[in-house]
Amino acid sequence: MPESARFSPSTLSAASTPSVDPALQPRLVVTDLDGSLLDHHSYDFSPAAPWLARLKQMGVPVIPVTSKTRAELIPLREALGLTATPFIAENGAVIGLPPGWCHARLDRPGSGRDGVVIKHPGVDIGFIRARLKVWRERLNIRFTRMGELSVPEVMELTGLDAVRARDARQREGSEPLLWHDSDMALASFRTALEGDGLQLTQGGAFGMSWDAPPIRAVPSSGWSSALRR
């Protein structure tokens, strides 16, 4: 065999692997909503609309990741044109998979709007509220859960309209709290919840009318865990 016809392993590997333009490799965009894709106060997304259209044309999925509830996300996904892509709600406590993103054998068809399959990587809201009740009584601490507020009260505290306030109360895997106690009590409360596999986070639009951001009780598996699943 002529020397020119011989291939070393490295030559064969290079010859059998076509060069791929990095710009054409599969990719996706993961984005927060409030203050990122949406205006923090008005929810306007018009500055991002041309880019969303361009990404859709290129076949690049845009996945919203947010502290909002699934109920809050339903109209936003429709307005943004993101009904064909997954979403992560309540800081990773709720994951929504459209039919095209589901496993053919492991995921049953979703019965909700758009046929989305809903997954809950952590514990449900019933467990969270039960543990909050236990520790409030056991530690004699003072706070108010969002679930204890009426829709008008949520509207007054947040500036949301009635529909958005109602949707914000539909929790599945996290619970915002209005804290009424000391920093020392908060530290004890945080430690107690960690023993239940829960953690406290601070921030979000729910506290925009308060002196401090709200505290949220969420499962210890947050956004990063949701993104790995």
- For the annotated catalytic residues, the residue numbers are 32
* Spatial CB neighbours of 40, under 8 Å, sequence gap ≥ 6: 34, 205
Q: How far apart are CA 93 and CA 120, in angstroms?
A: 6
SS3 category, 118: strand
Q: How far apart are CA 68 and CA 76, in angstroms?
A: 10
The maximal CA–CA distance of the chain, rounded, in angstroms, is 87
Q: How far apart are CA 79 and CA 120, in angstroms?
A: 24
Smallest CA-to-CA distance from 198 within 180, 171, 216, 183 is with 216
Burial-class residue 73 by CB neighbours within 10 Å (0-12, 13-18, 19+): buried
Sheet holding 215-219, edge to edge: 143-145, 175-179, 215-219, 198-202
* Spatial CB neighbours of 43, under 8 Å, sequence gap ≥ 6: 76
